[in-house]
Amino acid sequence: MIFALRIRLLRQPALNAQLQRWALLWMVVFSGLGAFGAIQTTNDPVLHSISKTYDGKEYIPLEALAKSFQLKLSWKPGDDHLWLSNQWLRARFFIDSHRCELDGIVVSMSHAVIARGGVPLLSRQDYSSLFRPLLVPAKNRPKKQIRTVALDPGHGGKDPGNQDGARKEKDFTLKLAQELKERLQQCGLKVVLTRADDMFVPLEDRPTRAKQRGADAMLSLHFNAISRPNSQIRGSVVYCLTPEGSESTEGNSDGIPPVHYPGNRQDQFNVLLAYNIQKAIVRNLDSDDLGVRRARWVVLRNAEMPAVLIEGGFMSDPQDAHRIYSDHYRKQLAQAIIDGFLAYKRLVER
């Protein structure tokens, strides 16, 4: 409600410059993560702060980000982590690490935060492709609403996906899709599926099918597994497309060139969608948080609409597996995904 009022205030053409400045200050001061309003790229003081280059990468001082968003920077040289916070947002960064936590949700950055000359620095790439899209969310074109959602149940037919004895990932991704479909339709959304039964659909065809059926967003559904015995790894991950020129979270060992793909046109929306879904899964289900990660999976790089790939737990972990095979838990997972999706929808349609 407060946010809607803020937006209406800024849209009033009769506001004089002084009032607009106050409105902007008010908007920044009274906002939480994902609600800092519409600061244009050309006016963004963080992007205009003095940057430094190390190892061929451009960095900006985290102090500039703190100042711009009225956050307090807590760090002294020698500390291995730092906080940026105000009463609405808490972000934790780790020196020489790609990991950060935004309001407690793990997000993987393209480059590590570094400290040089007693100054903590964030890569310009991460500001532009991660923090800015989350702190200053992009908006859909006026009157452009999300009406159709594509659900992409991973694997199918001759491709079982991960297997745990007789249990196959392809069956559980389809069950989750069916649960999601019903609930999204109850929210008034049209739902299209890239596969509606146990059939094989090549990866390349999945984003194409979503586009042909008019999808405004695509959620690709998977369950993870790790072959290492006695691994303690469990929890959820949401992937979105790696920005052009960046390295994916698990490296570029897949050999996919780090160039621009159709999916990169949605970079600002992809990460916002991924963050909101991961946040809802972790908070609603108390799932271990393996974070928002970047990858150049085929379905992400070819998707022309905002798209994410959700790994809803590990079939290789007894605790996660028990949940994945439970109808009751999959209903809860579907609801968490929808909560995150609707939070995203509200942000981009504001």
List residues near Zn ion by CB under 5 A: 154, 161, 222
> What letter does residue 213 receive in the DSSP assignment?
T
Using the minimum distance from each CB to Zn ion, give the nearer residue, 132 or 222: 222
Minimal distance, residue 210 CB to Zn ion, in Å = 17
Q: 1 is written with which tokens?
A: 């409600």
Q: Distance between alpha carbon 130 and the CA centroid of its chain, in Å?
A: 9
At 119, the amino acid letter reads: V
Alpha helix segments (H runs only) across the chain: 2-11, 17-29, 62-68, 124-126, 132-135, 169-186, 205-212, 267-285, 298-301, 318-324, 327-348
Minimal distance, residue 341 CB to Zn ion, in Å = 20
- The residue number with the shortest CB distance to Zn ion is 222
Using the minimum distance from each CB to Zn ion, give the nearer residue, 27 or 151: 151
Minimal distance, residue 169 CB to Zn ion, in Å = 5
Minimal distance, residue 154 CB to Zn ion, in Å = 4
Alpha-carbon gap, residue 35 to 127, rounded angstroms: 16
Using the minimum distance from each CB to Zn ion, give the nearer residue, 261 or 297: 297
Nearest to 23 by CA among 12, 33, 292: 12
Using the minimum distance from each CB to Zn ion, give the nearer residue, 110 or 316: 316
Using the minimum distance from each CB to Zn ion, give the nearer residue, 71 or 174: 174
Minimal distance, residue 159 CB to Zn ion, in Å = 9
- Helices and strands in the chain, H and E counts: 11, 17
